[in-house]
Structure 1
Amino acid sequence: MHTRHGPIAVDEKARWVWAFDEVEAVYKKLDGDKERVLTLLGGKGANLAEIARIGLLIPPGFTVTTEACMHFLKTDKKLSQDMWNQIEEGILHLEERTEKELGNPENPLLVSCRSGARYSMPGMMDTVLNIGLNDETVEGLSKATGDPRFAFDCYRRLIQMYATVVRGLDDEPFEATLSQRRKKGGNEADFSAADWRLITDQFKSIYRSATGEDFPHDPLIQIRSAVEAVFSSWNGKRAIDYRNATHIEHHLGTACNVVAMVFGNLGQNSATGVAFTRNPSTGEKKIFGEYLTNAQGEDVVAGTRNAKPIERLATEMPACYQDFLKACAKLEEHFTDMQDLEFTIENGKFWLLQTRNGKRTPEASVRIAVDLANAGAIKRREAVLHVEPQQIDALLHPRFHHKSKRRALEEKRLLARGINASPGAAVGKIAFDADLAEEWGSKQGLDVIMVRPFTRPDDVHGMLASRGIVTCEGGATSHAAVVARQFGVPCIVGASQIEIDLENRCLTSQRTRITEGELVSIDGTTGEVISGSLPTIETQLDEHRYLKQLLDWADSYRSLEIRANADTPHDAKIARRYGASGIGLCRTEHMFFDPERLPHVQRMILTESKAERDDALRTLLEFQRKDFEGLFQSMDGLPVVFRLIDPPLHEFLPDRQSLADEIFDLRVLGRSDELSSKEKLLKQIEHHHESNPMMGLRGVRLSLLHPEIIRMQVRAMLEAAVNAKRKGIHARPEIMIPLTSHLEEFRAAKEIIEGVARECCEQSGVSVDYTIGSMIEIPRACTIAGGLALESAFFSFGTNDLTQMTFGFSRDDAERTFLPHYLDHGILPTNPFQSLDTEGVGSLIHLAVDEIRAATDGLEIGVCGEHGGDPASIEFFHQQGFNYVSCSPYRVPIARLAAAHAALKLPEL
């Protein structure tokens, strides 16, 4: 027996422990703020308390708060005496509730220590079960239950979990011991009491050999060490990787829930399971789950045993199945969302162990939100907020071309069929471990398919770096399935035809041998693994009726208009299908890179003959006019913003170094007949060379030095608009002058544009409504925006260049050299080219907007950098009162939803 501290008076200012049945006091202390309760108690603890409040059965227990965790991590990673005193008080409370006593061989209390953060992080932190067992209490538990097999099964589990979680030992020696016994026949459910006694002794021996100490027999030492291990796991690698991927803040900490054990491994009248109140892959309103008889919870999640579909529980334990169905209905009604719940049946009695909003595929997320709103369970605005904008990207993932897939199946390239755990198509090189998947996927930029017998939480870094995941074992509620669904990664589990040979780094299936690094294709929608690479095709928005309905609702709430960056009629059509309300950026110079056009561009730049330059410009005029007509046709009645030519001229010219090498080779070979023209070309290229092209002859500067280029472009725009108008198409051209840094630059370029426009209208006899605006992408332009507003009809922020100019580094060079280091070491919180730097670049934008609004009201303000498709940046643009954002056609649906989120979160705007 062990010594306890007596009752203590708990100082409310340092309240580290709350019992589940004290939740009303927690709400009172936190002024009824549900978010603060969740933050303090963590999702698991708060939800268990909620389950008890609504009358469902949970085991008694208490929560050691997230504040205790952060205090623990910031000090010496030891529980303070005050914390430990309160935990002991919690244990006394548990003993009273259960009428059992910790460490008492006659009637032992066993508990679990379970992590539970504010936001669900399935499998990323640690849990220890069956705490309280030792050589004495295991015999007492054996006598009390009349089942020594059960008692020693629990004991060996505690030793293994304590060794790996608390002491950080390798799991392999323990698993090897189990594997040796399995070879004699059967799995864990078939092991006898004598088997478990022997395995327990072996586990204690492994522990002693690895640590130099005996397994601790004092239950209080076990609990204290387990709580400390749970708190420490908040800063474990897999937890940090997961938080980085899901943008969960690192300062929140995890709670630790100490819960009285209930046992699903007490025989055939006991079970454990995991279930969802709806299908987490499709969103269908149908219970979805698995269970195992005579097992503990980690057996289901790990996927090491083949679980049974939840429907079978109706015949195996009908009364418990009815309790389960009632619990599902009550939980979903109370939490107004699909629930992911864990349960245990102990000798025919149904217990809930936890509930949380279930991880789901993007497809399921959308359908569930729409179904709940249509059923009146939530409002439409809540349905819009239920779906994260990033999920839309995954929902519109490519899929395999039907004919190519059918041909592959006819060619007998099917390797395996498993459970379709997370939909989508993916092609990549096979990697058999998480470290290699991360190396290939994250560091080398390769497409990777991670193939494992089953995944563990420690594999999460490899999962996040992979295009797809395949496991040979496990079910639809296994770790791999849950994590893959959350991140929208195609996943197949339980592909049992595959045998992995880790020693020789290969797999065999259907008499086919595939070595590591070879390509495979997986279809997470159908559960098929196919050798080789299959082509993919785009998914259309119209194929997703639930998404279409959700986005229609989103459109009714947002104030930001969503336009698209589109340079071709093809891109414009995609943007229109995805709901774009115009083109916010047509990069007119992109049309010059076509192989058919590039020679004419080079001739225009390099020739010294005016006649030859004019001839090249006439040819380019024909190309651009045709393209512009296609854009007007695709966007009939919607605005099209044309940015005049912007990049440095060297981008259109042959590579200087390659040409110099070619000249050297010609000299060596003595081919003087070819040298003259090559040397002349090199001299012309040298003449156009710039030391810093990103800050050289670009944008408005290029337009003013070579006005013939913008005259050609403006004529092509206006003539295209005239032709469109004659065909009954409503053309709305908006001409944007890039890289303006001085008012006189803008005025000079504007004068050229207006002169060409007058000529076109006079020659055609058709008037065209057009506007001239400025692109703000230089810090100085932000400071003079008020003056520009007196001349400009609209503004669009080019945040890519504005970010480069503000930070003072080139994007391409930064992302290749130091930016990864900055992000890995927290020097920068995010990549500023992906998510807007609101502190620095945002301050300049705020200054410019204030200047513009003060100078003249009603001018249209938009953004056309990549930030126009980033949800966090969209929220900032909404706050600044922008009129529109423009993004890639494929991100238009994401931007539509993100703009609605911004409006609903900030209704005062």
Structure 2
Amino acid sequence: MTTLSARLSDADEPHGSHRAASPLIGFIGPGGDTQPLSAHAFGSKAAQLWRMNALGLNVPPAFVLSTALCGKPHAEKRIGSLLEQGIAYLERVTARGFGDRRRPLLVSVRSGAEKSMPGMLETVLDVGMTAATTRGLMRLYGNPRLAADCRRRFIEGYCEVVAGLPRGPFEDVLRAVQTAEDVTSDRELDPEALDRLAGLYLDLARDRFGTAIPEEPMDQLRAAAEAVFRSWDAPKAQDYRRLNHLENLSGTAVTVQAMVFGNASARSGSGVAFSRDPATGANGLYADMLFEAQGEDVVSGRRQPVGLGRLEALLPDVATQLAAGVGALEAAYRDVQDVEFTFEDGRLFFLQTRSAKRTPRAALKIAVDLVAQGMRTEAEGLALLDGIDLSQVGTTRFTGTAEVAARGVAASPGTVSGRVAFDGEAAKRLSEGGDPVILVRPDVATDDIAGMALAAGVLTRVGGRTAHAAVVARQLGRVCVVGCAPLAIDLDSRSARLGRAQVQEGDWLSLDGDEGTVFVGRRESVVDRPEAELDTVAGWMARTR
């Protein structure tokens, strides 16, 4: 096996800390950096990966390119040499080769700013998939379906993120293949159908859009890294920074990490876990996951996840390890953690942790509980509430009774009535009339951040509580119900059906984000204030003056 690590000299390989010699690249894993990576220089994602690894959690090895390279045209040549250095490190610690025909190394290419921006920057998974490495992955795992699935996933991701092609035509091809195979989900496609799907994607990209997918893995990696750097300037990312007063951030880093495969088997999967409920603040593990899935399937909100109970029933050892790991992270950071994980054939890996985005109501309860549990001082509890408008921490509830039109998954609490809008443009138009708006979508991508900011509530047909859009809704303080299966939207007629009820754009709809219920029409709400917790915080303020 001829690898980059074999071609580079020993002097070029990473041993211990490279901070003094190479301030633009960091290494996470065996023989990697011995000093913590700075979130300012390498992004919060990489900084926390380093710390998780230092805590002894199972973290796939990775390297990271500095935020200093973001948006710098002259850095292109330097990026290429740094990527080669990083890949040589991953080859050495994984004993696999990037582009190797027998033991192929695949990588994920992910973003990471100094402050977390969930879902606003880009990710490309399964980089390194070519016709040759597809066969190699098949031999390595003895699993033709895994290899074919990773190949078509890479092509999808490359076309959407790197080439900037619209997702719709590729979804049309996927639906056509599913129809031909008489299945309803891509999970039901066999290896032959997935291989055919990949070929159809390649044909579509070439014939309709003039896009060729590179077969050279390093070309794929360079293009993916450049696309992640470019995503810093995407409209949704700029909107998010503006809404959250993050305009002073300098750029994103690029983290390249050895792939682990949540789509490897029925004993594999991916998910997101919170150490406490980010909607209410209730103490206890809160998780969504999908079996036979990669991480983007969960956080994109395009598939309906299952809860922790399914993992506890099918893979209790993994569930126990997950609970222990998330608990250790909360104890280490002394704050609620949002943790991404994957398990491959029953082996658990931790891919990310960050302080959880939370509703104002949850922020209050969490701060009070952390102080009561001795994890934070009163002054630190007040710091956790910095920027929270305590006059807005009350919980709303509907008065009276009404017939439930549909039920979904409660993702962000509270109650709201508003006019139905099916996209961001409609939300802007209707909100200018002075009425609250509810954004109603099949799923909500983070591209919808501007529409979500204008809306008072969000309703989706698919998605889970931990999808990026639900995370952003909680952070913005928007009522949110996801996974509402009875919802059927007809954009041509600008209408939607909720079970037996029909609504037009501009009609009134009401959401209960605590119960996950949807009502047709307008309802009145009252506000309940958490007086005991507010009194506790008032006492902190008095004692810390």
Q: Scaled by the length of structure 1, what TM-score is found?
A: 0.57
SS at structure 2 position matched to 1:160: helix
Paired amino acid for 1:102: F
What is the deviation of 1:305?
A: 2.5
CA contact under 8 A between 1:273 and 1:292: conserved in structure 2? yes
Of 131, 141, 159, the residue aligned with 1:145 is: 141
Q: State the partner residue of 1:778.
A: none
Q: Quick one: structure 1 residues 528 and 391, their matched pair in 2 at CA, closer, same or farther if it must change by over 3 Å?
A: farther
Q: Quick one: structure 1 residues 105 and 394, their matched pair in 2 at CA, closer, same or farther if it must change by over 3 Å?
A: farther
CA contact under 8 A between 1:367 and 1:546: conserved in structure 2? yes
Q: 1:225-624 counterparts in 2 under 5 A?
A: 225-396=223-394, 399-403=396-400, 406=401, 409=402, 412=403, 414-441=404-431, 445-537=434-526, 539-541=527-529, 543-558=530-545
Name the CA distance, whole Å, in 2 between partners of 1:107 and 1:303. 32
CA deviation digits over 1:233-274, x for unaligned, max 9? 111100110111111124421111000000010111111111
What is the deviation of 1:64?
A: 0.7
CA deviation digits over 1:722-774, x for unaligned, max 9? xxxxxxxxxxxxxxxxxxxxxxxxxxxxxxxxxxxxxxxxxxxxxxxxxxxxx
Paired amino acid for 2:534: L
What is the deviation of 1:211?
A: 3.8
Paired amino acid for 1:555: A
Q: Quick one: structure 1 residues 480 and 23, their matched pair in 2 at CA, closer, same or farther if it must change by over 3 Å?
A: same
Where in structure 1 are there 5+ consecutive unaligned residues? 28-36, 559-909
Name the CA distance, whole Å, in 1 between partners of 2:21 and 2:346. 42
Q: State the partner residue of 1:63.
A: 64
Q: Quick one: structure 1 residues 311 and 548, their matched pair in 2 at CA, closer, same or farther if it must change by over 3 Å?
A: farther
What is the deviation of 1:552?
A: 2.6
What is the deviation of 1:544?
A: 4.2
What is the deviation of 1:472?
A: 1.1
SS at structure 2 position matched to 1:101: coil
Paired amino acid for 1:192: D
Name the CA distance, whole Å, in 2 between partners of 1:129 and 1:212. 22
Paired amino acid for 2:290: L
What is the deviation of 1:454?
A: 0.8
Q: State the partner residue of 2:172.
A: 176
Name the CA distance, whole Å, in 2 between partners of 1:24 and 1:385. 30
> Within the alignment, does 1:212 sit opposite 2:210 as a pair?
yes
CA deviation digits over 1:295-341, x for unaligned, max 9? 11111122333222112212211221121121011111101111111
Q: Which has the higher contact order (CA 8 A, sep 6+)?
A: 2
SS at structure 1 position matched to 2:321: helix
Count of equivalent residues: 533
Name the CA distance, whole Å, in 1 between partners of 2:277 and 2:114. 24
What is the deviation of 1:524?
A: 1.5
What is the deviation of 1:214?
A: 2.4
SS at structure 1 position matched to 2:447: helix
Name the CA distance, whole Å, in 1 between partners of 2:205 and 2:357. 36
Q: Quick one: structure 1 residues 484 and 97, their matched pair in 2 at CA, closer, same or farther if it must change by over 3 Å?
A: same
> Within the alignment, does 1:18 sit opposite 2:51 as a pair?
no
CA deviation digits over 1:660-719, x for unaligned, max 9? xxxxxxxxxxxxxxxxxxxxxxxxxxxxxxxxxxxxxxxxxxxxxxxxxxxxxxxxxxxx
> Within the alignment, does 1:131 sit opposite 2:130 as a pair?
no
> Within the alignment, does 1:51 sit opposite 2:52 as a pair?
yes
Q: 1:797-812 counterparts in 2 under 5 A?
A: none
CA contact under 8 A between 2:301 and 2:445: conserved in structure 1? no
Q: Scaled by the length of structure 2, what TM-score is found?
A: 0.93
SS at structure 2 position matched to 1:292: strand
What is the deviation of 1:59?
A: 0.1
What is the deviation of 1:488?
A: 0.6
**Structure of larger gyration radius:** 1
Q: State the partner residue of 2:105.
A: 109
Q: Quick one: structure 1 residues 304 and 460, their matched pair in 2 at CA, closer, same or farther if it must change by over 3 Å?
A: same
Paired amino acid for 1:494: G
Paired amino acid for 1:485: R
Q: Quick one: structure 1 residues 120 and 251, their matched pair in 2 at CA, closer, same or farther if it must change by over 3 Å?
A: closer
What is the deviation of 1:139?
A: 1.2
Name the CA distance, whole Å, in 2 between partners of 1:83 and 1:11. 17
Paired amino acid for 1:385: A
What is the deviation of 1:445?
A: 4.6
What is the deviation of 1:2?
A: 8.7
> Within the alignment, does 1:94 sit opposite 2:94 as a pair?
no
Name the CA distance, whole Å, in 1 between partners of 2:214 and 2:376. 51
Name the CA distance, whole Å, in 2 between partners of 1:274 and 1:25. 28
Where in structure 2 are there 5+ consecutive unaligned residues? 13-17
CA deviation digits over 1:564-616, x for unaligned, max 9? xxxxxxxxxxxxxxxxxxxxxxxxxxxxxxxxxxxxxxxxxxxxxxxxxxxxx
Name the CA distance, whole Å, in 1 between partners of 2:234 and 2:248. 11
CA contact under 8 A between 2:268 and 2:342: conserved in structure 1? yes
- Comparing both structures, which one devotes a greater share of its residues to strand? 2
Name the CA distance, whole Å, in 2 between partners of 1:297 and 1:280. 20
- Comparing both structures, which one devotes a greater share of its residues to helix? 1
Name the CA distance, whole Å, in 2 between partners of 1:508 and 1:467. 20
Q: State the partner residue of 1:705.
A: none
Moved more, 548-557 or 38-47: 548-557
CA contact under 8 A between 2:64 and 2:253: conserved in structure 1? yes
CA deviation digits over 1:179-203, x for unaligned, max 9? 2334422312211111101110111
Paired amino acid for 2:308: I
Q: Quick one: structure 1 residues 43 and 317, their matched pair in 2 at CA, closer, same or farther if it must change by over 3 Å?
A: same
Paired amino acid for 2:498: S
Q: Quick one: structure 1 residues 445 and 124, their matched pair in 2 at CA, closer, same or farther if it must change by over 3 Å?
A: farther
What is the deviation of 1:362?
A: 1.5
SS at structure 2 position matched to 1:25: coil
SS at structure 2 position matched to 1:514: strand
Name the CA distance, whole Å, in 2 between partners of 1:432 and 1:235. 26
CA contact under 8 A between 2:114 and 2:249: conserved in structure 1? no
CA contact under 8 A between 2:4 and 2:91: conserved in structure 1? no
Q: Quick one: structure 1 residues 384 and 20, their matched pair in 2 at CA, closer, same or farther if it must change by over 3 Å?
A: same
Name the CA distance, whole Å, in 2 between partners of 1:544 and 1:483. 27
What is the deviation of 1:400?
A: 4.4
Q: State the partner residue of 1:816.
A: none
Moved more, 299-308 or 463-472: 299-308
Name the CA distance, whole Å, in 1 between partners of 2:183 and 2:320. 35
SS at structure 2 position matched to 1:286: strand
CA contact under 8 A between 1:57 and 1:351: conserved in structure 2? yes
Q: Quick one: structure 1 residues 526 and 91, their matched pair in 2 at CA, closer, same or farther if it must change by over 3 Å?
A: same
Q: State the partner residue of 2:42.
A: 41
What is the deviation of 1:556?
A: 2.9
Q: State the partner residue of 2:158.
A: 162
CA deviation digits over 1:70-104, x for unaligned, max 9? xxx1x43x643233212211110100000000001
CA contact under 8 A between 1:435 and 1:461: conserved in structure 2? no
Q: Quick one: structure 1 residues 393 and 263, their matched pair in 2 at CA, closer, same or farther if it must change by over 3 Å?
A: farther
Identical aligned residues as a percent: 35
